[in-house]
Amino acid sequence: MPVKAIRLNDYRNYRRSFFEFDPHLNIITGKNGTGKTNILESIIVVSNTKSYRSNNDSDLIRKGAEFARICLNTEDKEYKVVINKKNKSLYIDNDLVKRTSEFIGKVNAILFKPSDLELFTQSPSERRKLLDIEVSKVSTSYIQALLRYNSLLKDKNKLLKELEKDELLLSVINESMVPLIKIIIQERQGFFVIINRYISDIYYLISNKRTKIEVVYKKCCEIEKVNDELERSKEKDDYYHYTTFGPHHDDYSFYMDGYELNSIASQGQKRMVLIAFKFALMRYIQYMTNKTPIVLLDDILSELDKDNQERLLNIIPEDTQVIITNTDINDLDIRKQYKLIELKEE
């Protein structure tokens, strides 16, 4: 569902601004610091219910203001995120939405940004964050299982720190965790199956090279072994005073023709693997929701040479809404019709 318009109030550098978008191609230009990324970020906040740029929602409030408001209109609905210093509220058509799971992914956007490359070297927890957000956007059972699991995990870790711990409570927690862990592993497995179905072909379309790209899910255990593993981890948990086993330790890594990506790929190849991964993500969302996500390209086109720029734009399906940011329109070689949004310094 394309974004028709966004109204920003006291959000980041915007006091009161209104932007309208074309259902196909949009380009936002402006010098550094004029607020290009902030606009894309506002769409991500509506898509994911939080920013990828800071863990603290209140960073989104314009300095000196009390609250921020993002109001995003599609053809038939209005999505609103209101952020106060202490909390945030979500609305669809002015009705308060109590559960995140009923808001997340309603507007679905995928962002490409230069710092995505860090994915290959970041900590597992950062990689899991991306995984969790994407799967949460398409699966209500996943987000519910994950939220419940994380809350049990907190209780369990607290319990494991106590000297005289309540063994009965501990086993109740473990029992409650089992079905949740199974859902989490199952949904993550499904995610990687679909990513791997597409990623090599997409890599070929971008790079013009036939290379096998694979994303390997490093899961805590096989689904049928969850019970046993949980039982087996008890001794270790006692020793370390925290939960040593579970999907909160899961990770994934990238392989190119069978070799770990970080050990063989050039910077340019890594960039293309990442773009292929993001497009595979887009296919995953399409597959799961039957809807095409909005594609946001933040400052990444000008990093590619003109051939790769064109190949990248060509693999985006025709009916997709695309929003591109760049400091200078002349660095881009775009041969399609587009709507231009020019940001000026205040």
Ligand X SMILES: Nc1ncnc2c1ncn2[C@@H]1O[C@H](COP(=O)(O)OP(=O)(O)O)[C@@H](O)[C@H]1O
Q: Provide the minimum distance between the beta carbon of 327 and ligand X in the complex, in angstroms, as a whole number.
A: 8
33 binds ligand X (CB under 6 A): yes
Site for ligand X in 60-99 (CB under 6 A): 61-63
- Please report whether residue 105 would count as binding ligand X according to CB under 6 A: no
Q: Residue number with the shortest CB distance to Mg ion?
A: 37
Q: Which does 265 bind (CB under 5 to 8 A by kind): Mg ion, ligand X, none?
A: none
34 binds, among ligand X, Mg ion, none (CB under 5 to 8 A by kind): ligand X
Tell me the DSSP string of 124-136: HHHHHHHHHHHHH
**Of residues 114 and 179, the one with the C-beta less far from ligand X:** 114
Count of positions on this chain that bind ligand X (CB under 6 A): 14
Q: Which does 270 bind (CB under 5 to 8 A by kind): ligand X, Mg ion, none?
A: none
Q: Binding residue for ligand X (CB under 6 A) from 3, 19, 30, 50? A: 30
- Strand ranges, E, within the chain: 5-11, 14-20, 25-29, 67-73, 78-84, 88-92, 95-97, 109-112, 213-218, 251-256, 259-260, 294-298, 322-326, 339-342
Rule CB under 6 A: which of 36-65 touch ligand X?
Answer: 36-38, 59, 61-63
33 binds, among Mg ion, ligand X, none (CB under 5 to 8 A by kind): ligand X
CB-CB contact of 25 with 337 (8 Å)? yes
Q: What is the 3-state secondary structure (H, E, C) of 140-176?
A: HHHHHHHHHHHHHHHHHHHHHHCCCCCHHHHHHHHHH
Contact status: 9 vs ligand X (CB under 6 A): no
Complex with Mg ion: residue 285 or 323, whichever CB lies closer: 323
The listed partner (ligand X, Mg ion, none) that binds 35, CB under 5 to 8 Å by sort, is ligand X
Task: Measure the CA–CA gap between 278 and 294, rounded to whole angstroms.
Answer: 12
Strands lying side by side in the sheet with 259-260: 213-218, 251-256, 259-260
Give Dmax (Cα) for the chain: 70
Q: Rounded distance, CA 126 to CA 316, Å?
A: 27
Among 7, 12, 50, 137, binds ligand X (CB under 6 A): 12
Q: Are strands 78-84 and 67-73 parallel, antiparallel or unpaired?
A: antiparallel
Q: Where do contacts with ligand X occur on this chain (CB under 6 A)? A: 12-13, 30, 32-38, 59, 61-63
